[in-house]
Amino acid sequence: MSQRKPYNHQARLANYYRSMLRSNHVAVLDIEHLELQVLVDWKHARAIGNGREAVATAVTEMPHRWSLYLAALCRDQLGTAYMKSVEIAPQGIYKAAQLAETVEAYCVELKAGCNPYHFIGLAWLAIPAEITLTEAQAERVFDAFGAWRKQPEAA
């Protein structure tokens, strides 16, 4: 008789979280100039509701291999919105809280390559899986959350 595989609660929980994030197309969206950071469904460009504590726990508590899509959002003198972007996949496994440090160097480099008169702000999508996004998919998500709006001036 073969020996039964021992029950491993932590491995089972990690598999559950990974599959939940993959099936719900979860990503972390950060639009710096609007001071917005939210969990989104990157495939359908909509926010993930407040009643989904399990999704938030899966993103924040478990370390993941991340795919990051960084974009410098710009608008030219004719009013046409465009973005300069780069997609990176950092080596290693990170928790969500460590992403800001990882992204910082790439953001500085991306901002330096933009026309300062066109520059609106930086935005990034962090997907807790090894997935590549097209520019059209990322633009749709940024557009759905108003990334090309400027922060209202303080009076």
pLDDT at 155: 40
Alpha-helical runs (H) found in 24-65: 53-61
Q: Are 124 and 69 in contact (CB under 8 A)?
A: yes
Reported as a single tens digit per residue, the pLDDT across 4-29 is 778 888 888 888 888 888 888 999 99
- pLDDT digit string (tens) for 47-97? 987 767 888 888 888 899 999 999 999 998 898 999 999 999 988 888 888
* CA distances in angstroms from 146 to 41, 72, 118, 142, listed in the order given: 15, 14, 17, 6
Domains of the chain as residue ranges with CATH: 9-144 (3.30.1490)
Q: What single string gives the DSSP state of each residue in 54-120?
A: HHHHHHHHS-B--EEEEEEEEE-TT--EEEEEEEE--SS-B-GGGHHHHHHHHHHHHHHTS-TTTEE
